[in-house]
Chains A and B, each alone.
Chain A
């Protein structure tokens, strides 16, 4: 199975270790992973700001670059989700690569289905269920709905030796990042982030973890500004711990 690894722009620039962990993890599961170098961004920052038309070329480039792979896997729920659910609407034609783009967690859970992992992470973590992961990709059951409860991220983390996984009160309320929302509505965005952070900290966890570095970046920025010592780590890094 040939996998194209998509490391979205901000992960590339700010959290390369998340990309490295994703790569190692996928390789360790016996998959053939390639990283096409001409990749950049999924287009979401422009789209959410109201300029998805400025992402047309980028979407075409993405489709061109990734169309030869069985799956495109990204360690970023929101970007994977944007590719899969918005790309075709932006360029108004079918996109082969977009259809086969998955977030790392859903890809592992639904396609690879590992029953064990080599990872060990003897720490207490608070799980951040990010909105697009929950409500677009279905990584966990949305709290608003009366559907059987499940959480794919938690299922995978439970394969890690020594880990204790907690969830905050209001487990899938938005953290307030929202891309440009955070700079256009800084007061509300910050308040949402502070509330979320407080609930994560209340679990007694050492780390906040999640499938989306953008939420973690937002929460981390607020934590640092307020002198909170809690640590942040992407799910991929935990699943790849020790590789």
Chain B
């Protein structure tokens, strides 16, 4: 009885120290979030407002999308619609060709990850440079993100230093970056001082900002009443990416549209508090129209979102604003790491989005939940994540993805529990022959003993005690 998630998680758990670090890192983000939550008297009202605004917007999405498009066009922005990843990539390529783009600088966008944009650009000979530090590290290391907000948190500074050396960043920028920073005797060629490495990355990225012909950003929010795009970053890299190149392309999922700035006020207060435990991100950048002499494009991407909207059981996942709080609180995510999931978005929301994207590829993640419901209680927009995972589990059998052992055990329990006399008999014999009800014997034969001793059956069950008049 194992899923791809449980197998990968077991491997992850072979290094106990790594599990401890991973758990503590994300628990500390959860704790920071709690600290901020407790400071705001109106915290629960904010969550409820966010929930209602999202529900309202999503159930009136067509209207808000049209309003957004109209206003963005009035601002002189080109608006495109992409029904799926292929169409999205085609639109990007068409814009790039028209502008003869050779090099793109990008700020963080999970949507471009979802649509495999970078691979596509590279295939067409376009150099693409991630400018969020975490994303850049991953790009240089050629590995995917392990978290949606802190994508490279699992990489150590020593690994970053080694990567920067290998990629020539240290050779080119190390001496300059080390000036007045490193302690005496510390060699910039081998240092893994985080401030020093960050400065080296900064010089490296500046070169790229200067050379790029196109800046791409995602968007945390699209504001229907003004046509604005709002991007939240801690590094200012969205601003750098859009301030130098004359071409700015924004890529956002349909569900990122919110009605107005009044709503924005609610989400602005919740997003960073939930995601990173900050009262606000360092930069909240508002893009309304192109700079003089420049061009701005917004691509609104569906890629399955309309069909989620039509899914009566699961449409509320569209409320998600990708803050990552459910990952940070998830005791399973914290102890299994982002790579143990088959979908590129891990944690509770990733289990759900993965199922909505491709059930056959991602049903493996449904085991990654103890149904503790902590995610439901942190979620700023009240997505009922654990209930939805429970629902997916009910659907696995009809998809042909139910675990045969679990099915057999459940059938055994059904027989036992539907027939009180059989159940009572099983109980009677359990302690005698150590021949216990099916669900227990199967556990014994399998994974229970991985970390546990077997529970002992009482000599006389409550049933027996009652029958004998011993319960008084």
With most chain A CB atoms within 10 A of its CB, the pick from B37, B456, B461 is: B461
Majority secondary structure of chain B interface residues (helix, strand, loop or mixed)? helix
Task: For A145, list chain B residues within 8 Å (CB).
Answer: 37, 43-44, 377
Task: For B406, list chain A residues within 8 Å (CB).
Answer: 49-51, 180, 184
Say yes or no: is A222 at the interface (Cβ < 8 Å to chain B).
yes
Known contacts A14-B458, A135-B374, A188-B13: A182-B417 contact under CB 8 Å = no
Contact A144 B413, beta carbon cutoff 8 Å: no
With most chain A CB atoms within 10 A of its CB, the pick from B369, B370, B460 is: B370
B21 CB to closest chain A CB (Å) equals 13
Interface set, chain A 80-117, CB cutoff 8 A to B:
none
Say yes or no: is A230 at the interface (Cβ < 8 Å to chain B).
no
Say yes or no: is A203 at the interface (Cβ < 8 Å to chain B).
no
Known contacts A178-B369, A221-B448: A58-B414 contact under CB 8 Å = yes
Say yes or no: is A70 at the interface (Cβ < 8 Å to chain B).
no
Contact A47 B390, beta carbon cutoff 8 Å: yes
Partner of B335, one of A24, A144, A192: A192
Count of B interface residues, CB-CB < 8 Å:
86
Known contacts A50-B402, A146-B38, A192-B335: A185-B367 contact under CB 8 Å = yes
Say yes or no: is A163 at the interface (Cβ < 8 Å to chain B).
no
Contact A19 B462, beta carbon cutoff 8 Å: yes
Say yes or no: is A43 at the interface (Cβ < 8 Å to chain B).
yes
Contact A186 B462, beta carbon cutoff 8 Å: no
Interface set, chain B 303-341, CB cutoff 8 A to A:
329, 331-332, 335-336
A151 CB to closest chain B CB (Å) equals 16
A58 to B460, CA, bound (A): 24
Contact A174 B374, beta carbon cutoff 8 Å: yes
Say yes or no: is A207 at the interface (Cβ < 8 Å to chain B).
no
A163 to B390, CA, bound (A): 38
Known contacts A40-B420, A144-B378, A187-B450: A178-B410 contact under CB 8 Å = no
Measured CB to CB, the nearest residue on chain B to A44 is B371
Say yes or no: is A166 at the interface (Cβ < 8 Å to chain B).
no
A136 to B420, CA, bound (A): 28
Contact B336 A58, beta carbon cutoff 8 Å: no
A50 to B392, CA, bound (A): 8
Measured CB to CB, the nearest residue on chain B to A43 is B417
Contact A144 B451, beta carbon cutoff 8 Å: no
Say yes or no: is B190 at the interface (Cβ < 8 Å to chain A).
no
A220 to B448, CA, bound (A): 12
Contact B418 A174, beta carbon cutoff 8 Å: no
With most chain A CB atoms within 10 A of its CB, the pick from B9, B410, B439 is: B410
Contact A193 B417, beta carbon cutoff 8 Å: no
B116 CB to closest chain A CB (Å) equals 29
A40 to B414, CA, bound (A): 10
Contact A183 B19, beta carbon cutoff 8 Å: no
Say yes or no: is B94 at the interface (Cβ < 8 Å to chain A).
no
Say yes or no: is B87 at the interface (Cβ < 8 Å to chain A).
no
Measured CB to CB, the nearest residue on chain A to B448 is A183
A174 CB to closest chain B CB (Å) equals 4
Say yes or no: is A16 at the interface (Cβ < 8 Å to chain B).
yes
Contact A190 B371, beta carbon cutoff 8 Å: no
Say yes or no: is A195 at the interface (Cβ < 8 Å to chain B).
yes
Interface set, chain B 358-372, CB cutoff 8 A to A:
366-372
Say yes or no: is B95 at the interface (Cβ < 8 Å to chain A).
no
Contact A45 B439, beta carbon cutoff 8 Å: yes
Say yes or no: is B407 at the interface (Cβ < 8 Å to chain A).
yes
Task: For A37, list chain B residues within 8 Å (CB).
Answer: 420, 424, 463, 466-467
A82 CB to closest chain B CB (Å) equals 10
Contact A13 B427, beta carbon cutoff 8 Å: yes
Contact B1 A184, beta carbon cutoff 8 Å: yes
Measured CB to CB, the nearest residue on chain B to A15 is B458
18 additional contacts (CB under 8 A) given A37-B424, A37-B467, A192-B331: A12-B463, A13-B427, A16-B464, A19-B471, A47-B390, A61-B420, A131-B371, A131-B373, A173-B331, A185-B336, A186-B10, A190-B452, A191-B335, A193-B451, A221-B451, A221-B454, A224-B452, A225-B452
Q: List 27 A-B contacts (CB under 8 A).
A: A9-B423, A9-B437, A14-B458, A19-B471, A20-B462, A38-B420, A40-B416, A40-B418, A46-B413, A50-B396, A57-B414, A131-B373, A135-B372, A145-B37, A177-B370, A178-B370, A178-B371, A182-B448, A184-B406, A185-B332, A185-B368, A187-B9, A187-B13, A190-B452, A192-B370, A218-B452, A221-B453
The residues of A with any CB-CB pair to B shorter than 8 Å are 7, 9, 11-17, 19-20, 23-24, 35, 37-41, 43, 45-55, 57-58, 61, 131-132, 135-136, 142-147, 170, 172-174, 176-195, 217-218, 220-222, 224-225
